Amino acid sequence: MGKKEKDSRLIANNKKAYHDYFIEEKYEAGIELHGTEVKSLRMGKCSIKESFIKIERGEIFIYGMHISPYEKGNIFNRDPLRVKKLLMHKNEILKLQQKIAEKGYTLVPLQVYFNKSLIKVEVGLAKGKKLYDKRADIQKKDMKRESEREFKQRF
């Protein structure tokens, strides 16, 4: 178990991203949050299934990330689907912007997790899969599952 694995705790995972895209590179970004959002994330109330990432005016934003309102937050709660700014170095953002300019590349959030006491978002530079790629992945999973089942029956 590595040092990173000990200090981090997963909040939300985006399995759909791995099904719909080939993940070329992964980046770690901080996220700009307000008080009650942090408390809600500590309770694990977050979803990134329908979210996506855009770069606008040299800044990077995440859209559609749902953080449930904190029960005891009343008037301090923010809109659960508000646009949140991601925190990355300027040169990383410029590098990503150049890659996105190429045809077929996009940015997708892969997971949200705690790194020590900070909340981080893993951003993936992804290329969309075609339908036949998805079918091939499903076929590989089915074959693997079938072989494991046969192996269990023998022993």
pLDDT at 5: 53
User: In sequence order, which residues have a C-beta less than 8 Å from that of residue 30 and are 6 or more positions away?
Assistant: 86, 87, 88, 118, 119, 120, 121
Give the pLDDT of residue 1. Answer: 42
pLDDT of res. 60: 92
What pLDDT is recorded for position 76?
65
* Mean pLDDT by groups of 10 residues along the chain of 155 residues: 61 83 88 83 84 89 85 71 88 88 85 87 85 79 84 75
